[in-house]
Amino acid sequence: MAPEVSQNNVLTEKSDVYSFGVVLLEVVCKDKLNNVEKRKKHPVEENIDPNIKGKIAPESWEVFVDITERCLKFDPNERPSMGEVEVQLELALTLQEEADIRNTCDDYTLLSMTIINQPLTTVGTRHNL
């Protein structure tokens, strides 16, 4: 639930965007945590569902994580519109499809470690996802 809903019982399009951001996390995470705050303490890449590990192209992942993170902004005014979310998810899909055409036999490796609502950071170790 969006922070403003729990504080003021006010539902808006931006609270729907927040909820959709939670759904986006649920799509990729192995542990179905009910609390986004718990997820903010651990990099998303450490919690990727094993069924999709190694199948996500880094350029697609970057777009996916960026839009997910923006959906989960505390301030509703900083969240994107659902139209922008749709465009960014279509871009992520296109990037994934293009990468899959180029890479038909190897797993993808993500080098980022993303904590939701924190800047994207690249760490020195490789993580096969």
The per-residue pLDDT for range 26-36, each reduced to its tens digit, is 888 877 655 56
SS3 101: helix
Cβ atoms of 27 and 46 closer than 8 Å: no
Mean pLDDT of the region 38-51: 78
pLDDT for 34: 54
Mean pLDDT of the region 14-19: 94
At position 83, the amino acid (one-letter code) is G
Cβ atoms of 110 and 43 closer than 8 Å: no
Tens-digit pLDDT profile for residues 62-112 = 999 999 999 999 999 999 999 999 999 999 999 999 999 988 777 787 766
pLDDT for 36: 62
pLDDT for 126: 37
Pairwise pLDDT comparison (1 vs 55), residue with the higher score:
55
Distance (Å, whole) CA 125 – CA 111: 7
What CATH code would you report for 3-128?
Answer: 1.10.510.10
Domain ranges of the chain: 3-128
Q: Has this prediction a pTM greater than 0.85?
A: no
At position 103, the amino acid (one-letter code) is N
pLDDT for 121: 36
- Which residues make Cβ contacts (< 8 Å) with residue 61, sequence separation at least 6? 92, 110, 112, 129
* Res 8 pLDDT > 70: yes
Mean pLDDT of the region 14-25: 93
